[in-house]
Structures are given as structure tokens and as C-alpha cells.
Homo-oligomer: A and B are copies of this chain.
């Protein structure tokens, strides 16, 4: 790993307040690896060998059952994944693949567990990370169990718009079929849902979505802090 990259890594939120020597130790045995798009980074069911931290690019986290597959999340730079599996020394519950060319920091699970066992600030940092991740999944579960596909799409649009400054114009950050799977529907249903939102002021052109009337969407989608607000 280059010295400059190493300095970047040390500033990761996961390492906030952690004994610098320990961070150094973890990073010394870590790999900063480049992956081309479409490559599999982790496979469901395998033992957790590495804690993954995304440095660049997007990663799709997904899971399969029978002949079906669903994407659980799409993660960007700064996100770490499979923390829980590493801490508990268990199998991955999900697979992951690079959606774009990506740089990922791979920290050996053994080192992470060691730091977790010896360094209190790191253990706390991990706990906070897990608590946040836990709440994220709970929200997603509620989203799935309580809402129709049209409601899920509409709320996703509103969240996305809010995250990019409420400009009334968003760019889809990945393919529509990935978005469909992320939202728990088949691509055809996503297409039709976008079409169904036209009367509510939504105009889709390629990857860009114009929001004509935010309030109409809100009336349709009933956004709720305990599902949609990433800070709640």
C-alpha cells in the first residue's frame, strides 16, 4: 500500500478515536485492492476472511435463493461491509460484487477481531457501526413488509432527492435493473411504476429523473421518519 493511501485509510470513520498504533497494525496487514466491474468480492456461505471497506466505486450486496436473487444494498466509498460476520467469526450472509471498477481495503478478520478484543474505542466504534447498520436493515424490512412497490419507488425518489440537496432532479446512480432488485421488484414493474408516476410530475429520461411536484409525491408516498430518514 502506498504511504499516501495509508494516510487516507487512517482517517476512516471506523478508526475514529482508536489507538493509532493499533490502526497502523491493522492496516499493515491489510490489502488495498483494485477490482474490475462485475467481479465477485464475497460469496454468501463462505467464512468471513476479511473486513471490506470501500475506498472507491460502488459495490452491490446481494443474496440468492433457488433461482432468485435480490440486491440487499448498493454501497459507495466509505462504507464497510460484513462487519458482523467478521466480529462473530461466522459465514457471510450475502454476496458482494463490484458494480463499477472499485478499490477496496481488505483487513484480515483475525486482525479485526484482535483489535476488537483489545481496544475499547475500536469495540465501541464497531458497536456504533453495527447499531447503525442494524437500524438500516430494520427500516428496509419495514419498507418491504409495509409498502407497495409504487410506494417504495416514490419514497426512494424522495430520499434520493433529499440526499442530493432537493434539486428536483436526480440521476440514477446505477442501472435500473439493479434499482428494481434493490427495491424488491422485477425490472418490468419498475418501468411501469415510473410510468405510473407521470401523473405525479415525474419525468424519466434515461438515467435522469425530474421531479415536477414534490408535494404530490409526498401525498402518494407518505414518507415516514422511522423508515426513510437516514438520520433517525
Does A11 interact with chain B (Cβ within 8 Å)? no
Chain A: residues with Cβ within 8 Å of the partner, total of 51
1/0 per residue, CB under 8 A from B, across A97-135: the answer is 000000000000000000011001001101110111111
State whether A72 touches B132 (Cβ < 8 A).
no
Q: Which residues of B contact A226 (CB under 8 A)?
A: 44-45, 63, 91-93
Q: In the complex the two chains form, what is the Cα distance from A173 to B187 in whole Å?
A: 39
**Contact of A128 with B63 at beta-carbon distance under 8 Å, contacts A123-B120, A144-B144, A226-B44 already known:** no
Q: Which residues of B contact A147 (CB under 8 A)?
A: 65
CB distance from A14 to the nearest CB of B (A): 13
User: Which of A30-38, A81-89, A163-171, A189-197 participates in binding chain B?
Assistant: A81-89
Q: Which residues of B contact A83 (CB under 8 A)?
A: 131
Does A205 interact with chain B (Cβ within 8 Å)? no
- Chain B's closest residue to A84 (CB) is B131
7 extra interchain contacts, Cβ-Cβ under 8 A, other than A64-B146, A93-B142? Answer: A63-B226, A65-B142, A83-B131, A123-B123, A123-B127, A124-B127, A127-B130
Q: Can you give 14 contacting A-B residue pairs, CB < 8 Å?
A: A63-B226, A64-B146, A65-B227, A83-B131, A87-B128, A88-B132, A90-B135, A92-B226, A93-B142, A94-B142, A117-B124, A123-B124, A126-B127, A140-B141
Q: Which 8 A-B pairs have the closest CB atoms?
A: A120-B120, A127-B127, A84-B131, A65-B146, A130-B130, A70-B145, A137-B137, A134-B134
